[in-house]
Amino acid sequence: MNRCFGQGICLAVWFGLLVRLPAETFRVAAYNVENYLDQPTDSRPHVKSAEAKTKIRESLRALKPDVLALEEMGTTNALLELRNSLKAEGLDLPFWEHVSGQDTNIHVAVLSKFPFTARRPHTNDQFLLSGRRFHVSRGFAEVDIQVNANYSFTLLAAHLKSKRPVPEGDEAELRLEEAKALREHIDANLAANPNVNLIVLGDFNDVKNSPSTKAILGRGKTKLTDTRPAERNGDNAPNLVGRFDPLNVTWTYYYGIEDTYSRIDYILLSPGMAHEWVKEDTYIPTIPNWGVGSDHRPIVAAFEASDR
């Protein structure tokens, strides 16, 4: 006999003992889809090829995300084309958000199996650098998502300034200021509710110990948890240097000019959200010829749909 209570907790009676049943789970993914354009622009002249779109959908079908944050998405038409193509192949993510910042070429977007109960697009964040005023280039997508009757969370998706040099200012300083703006939205959520279920994710365009990524992670009681998705390749040994992370394969981006691989895509969790995190179902898929779709690999993390 099964009995269910509030907050999604179900118990089964086996041989006179109460046993907690596995909770409903859901998956959240992030993927920079590298210029997913359906029409050329002045600075990005190439539309996404059919072969690249097919490989992206293959990667996403392997992950089966319930919520998907996308970076370098083109117009709303491009987003809806991807949504409809995924649905035709069995992955239905009907709810969507598309955020247009100062960059008119590429955008941050969200696809979701679950409905949004609120949308707070941040399209006009500004900062001063060396006496000049700048805008956060791609803006931030912020949505509240209702997973079931008893569980919801807030998703905050970002795509920070790349390492490509620009004449307007130093790229690292610009990225740091964008990271500080993102952290302000994180802190606002935590100030309103220290136990808020908050996921912060996307392409942060720098490594974990960079000033910009550290600014997003924060410190102390409001520090975010880094889920650090990795390949499921059998690596499970701890690092012999105790202060370093394990030797899992975690790179998400290939930079052709340097011939380097680095981890610059993240799924970060508020203290409240970290309680529901399912580490065993958090990973990077190993898809043959992944680079046909994008110069990034997608990442995914799983969660229990019940406050713990």
Separation of alpha carbons 214 and 271, rounded Å: 16
Q: What is the pLDDT of residues 35-91, one digit of tens each?
A: 999 999 888 989 999 999 999 999 999 999 999 999 999 999 999 999 999 999 999
The answer to whether residue 239 sits within a structural domain is no
| Apex 250 CA angle, 249 and 254, nearest 5 | 105
Q: What is the mean predicted confidence (pLDDT) over 274-298? A: 97
Separation of alpha carbons 72 and 95, rounded Å: 19
The answer to whether residue 112 sits within a structural domain is yes
| Apex 119 CA angle, 300 and 180, nearest 5 | 70
Q: How confident is the model at residue 16 (pLDDT cuts 50, 70, 90)?
A: low
CATH of the domain at 139: 3.60.10.10
Quick one: tokens of 85?
Answer: 């193509």
The answer to whether residue 245 sits within a structural domain is no
C-alpha dihedral (149, 223, 102, 96), degrees to nearest 10: -20
For residue 158, the one-letter residue type is: A
Q: Which of 212, 205, 179 has the alpha carbon at shortest distance from 262?
A: 205
Task: Count up the domains in the chain and report the number.
Answer: 1
Helix (H, G, I), strand (E, B) or coil at 206: coil
The answer to whether residue 59 sits within a structural domain is yes
Query: Do residues 71 and 33 lie in contact, with contact meaning Cβ atoms separated by under 8 Å?
Result: yes
What was the pLDDT predicted at 133? Answer: 96
Query: Do residues 306 and 276 lie in contact, with contact meaning Cβ atoms separated by under 8 Å?
Result: yes
C-alpha atoms less than 13 angstroms from C-alpha of 105 in its C-beta half-sphere: 13
Q: How confident is the model at residue 2 (pLDDT cuts 50, 70, 90)?
A: very low
pLDDT, averaged across the chain: 93
The answer to whether residue 96 sits within a structural domain is yes
pTM over 0.85: yes
The answer to whether residue 157 sits within a structural domain is yes
The answer to whether residue 115 sits within a structural domain is yes
Query: Do residues 204 and 179 lie in contact, with contact meaning Cβ atoms separated by under 8 Å?
Result: yes
Domain that holds residue 137: 24-233+264-304
Q: What is the mean predicted confidence (pLDDT) over 160-171? A: 93
